């Protein structure tokens, strides 16, 4: 089997493309015509495969989905307008009022808010410290439909014991959903720990250039959908492995319209071609930067699973090819974090992650501001926490930028 990057680069050419084009073209059509109206009816009835309407599927988007399925070694993928649209599809398409979800308490803030919204609609959500699998086990009830975790939690970088939680879910017939955004399928494949569904924000490392939004759910084939009580009879007509994706496609794309545009799909596919190269450089830069900061007298704490003093350093080293390009840190209490940020010349004060450029943000004052101090504390987020997404800049430039900003602070 070809390697990660070779597979992505040559995947489009596995089926015939006109003129010998090496990229799948951007198909802009919203609707698809059939010379035999009976065939049109068969496509609508699911008896024959084919495209019907852009909201439900598009050939350029399919080409990207196919690559994402290969990246995650899955059986099928579904693309969405953003990473949050992909996560939002979980309650919309797979949960009912009265169902229960166990979620890691250490989550990207918007995902945490989304689970609060699901709770308002009658889904019970238990947030637990999932770094201890016993907490996950204790929270499971008869109504538990899924367990949701991130690989490396954004922004405090806690790593849960993915393999133990996967085994627990498998033993109980519960769907294990893993948000792989912080690691990407290049550094980690959640299928290896029994995840049934994998979420990737395509906005981040997979596209990499900070110029397009997208999200994806991949079914790894590890979950037996016959154990899932919420799959409607309509979606049980295909092979069992396709049941989940079929229901997700109908309820979140057809009925809700959270679809990815073909132009965005093309842009993401182009970005994905260099993902592995970019991530290698970002991880190396992150390692150098976190080591320098950890040894600096003006820095109080650095949170990065690649550092030996991180509580889950051993676990993360076993699970992931490298420890990613996102870390967070706290300055000494007498330093104003805004002054420090304003002294940086290369790192940009901005939200977002997985970008080619180094981005830095004071977490409690921005992306986690709305949720308030109490919920931040429960997620392990100090008021002075600063998150960094490390880019592909030349390492010496990045190190000297942080050093000079610390000197001036």
Asked if 183 interacts with ligand PLP (CB under 6 A), we say no
CB of 89 to ligand PLP, least distance (A): 12
Binding mask 138-167 toward ligand PLP (x if CB under 6 A, else -) reads ------------x---x-------------
Binding mask 26-65 toward ligand PLP (x if CB under 6 A, else -) reads ----------------------------------------
Pick the binder of ligand PLP from 181, 286, 328, 389 (CB under 6 A): 181
The bridge status of strand 359-362 relative to strand 386-389 is: antiparallel
Q: Which is nearer to ligand PLP, 154 or 384 (CB)?
A: 154
Asked if 104 interacts with ligand PLP (CB under 6 A), we say no
CB of 57 to ligand PLP, least distance (A): 20
Region near ligand PLP per CB under 6 A, out of 54-62, 69-77, 177-185, 223-231: 177-185
Asked if 208 interacts with ligand PLP (CB under 6 A), we say no
Asked if 182 interacts with ligand PLP (CB under 6 A), we say yes
Asked if 203 interacts with ligand PLP (CB under 6 A), we say yes
Asked if 84 interacts with ligand PLP (CB under 6 A), we say yes
Closest-approach residue to ligand PLP (CB): 83
Q: Which is nearer to ligand PLP, 127 or 243 (CB)?
A: 127
Q: Which residues, 333 to 392, sit near ligand PLP by CB under 6 A? A: 353
Region near ligand PLP per CB under 6 A, out of 76-84, 158-166, 287-295, 380-388: 76-84
CB of 353 to ligand PLP, least distance (A): 6
Write out the residues near ligand PLP by the rule CB under 6 A.
82-84, 108, 111, 150, 154, 179, 181-182, 201, 203, 213, 215, 353
């Amino acid at each position: 089997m070809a390697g990660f990057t070779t597979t992505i680069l040559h995947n489009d050419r596995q089926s015939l493309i006109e003129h010998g084009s090496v990229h799948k073209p951007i198909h802009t059509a919203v609707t698809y015509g059939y010379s035999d109206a009976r065939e049109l009816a068969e496509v609508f009835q699911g008896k024959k495969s084919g495209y019907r309407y852009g909201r439900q599927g598009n050939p350029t988007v399919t080409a990207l989905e196919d690559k994402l399925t290969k990246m995650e070694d899955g059986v099928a993928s579904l693309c969405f307008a953003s990473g949050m649209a992909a996560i939002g599809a979980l309650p919309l398409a797979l949960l009912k009022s009265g169902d229960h979800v166990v979620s890691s308490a250490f989550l990207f803030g918007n995902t945490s808010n989304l689970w609060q919204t699901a709770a308002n609609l009658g889904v019970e959500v238990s947030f637990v410290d999932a770094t201890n699998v016993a907490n996950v086990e204790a929270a499971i009830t008869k109504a538990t439909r899924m367990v949701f975790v991130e690989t490396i939690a954004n922004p405090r970088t806690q790593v849960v014991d993915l393999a133990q939680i996967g085994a627990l879910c498998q033993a109980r017939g519960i769907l294990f959903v893993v948000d792989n955004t912080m690691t990407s399928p290049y550094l980690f494949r959640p299928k290896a720990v029994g995840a049934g569904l994998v979420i990737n924000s395509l906005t981040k490392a997979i596209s990499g250039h900070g110029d397009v939004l997208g999200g994806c759910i991949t079914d790894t084939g590890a979950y037996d959908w016959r154990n899932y009580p919420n799959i409607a009879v309509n979606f049980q007509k295909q092979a069992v492995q396709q049941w989940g994706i079929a229901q997700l496609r109908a309820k979140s794309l057809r009925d809700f319209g959270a679809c990815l545009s073909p132009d965005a799909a093309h842009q993401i596919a182009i970005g994905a071609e260099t993902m592995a190269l970019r991530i290698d450089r970002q991880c190396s830069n992150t390692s150098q930067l976190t080591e320098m900061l950890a040894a600096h007298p003006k820095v109080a704490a650095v949170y990065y699973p690649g550092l030996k003093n991180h509580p889950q350093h051993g676990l993360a080293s076993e699970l992931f090819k490298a420890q990613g390009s996102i870390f967070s840190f706290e300055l000494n209490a007498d330093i104003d974090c805004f002054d420090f940020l304003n002294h940086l010349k290369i790192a940009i004060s901005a939200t977002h992650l997985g970008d080619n450029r180094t981005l830095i943000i004071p977490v409690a004052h921005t992306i986690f501001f709305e949720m308030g101090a109490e919920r931040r504390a429960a997620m392990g987020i100090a008021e002075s926490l600063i998150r960094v997404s490390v880019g592909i800049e030349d390492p010496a430039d990045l190190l000297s930028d942080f050093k000079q900003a610390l000197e001036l602070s």
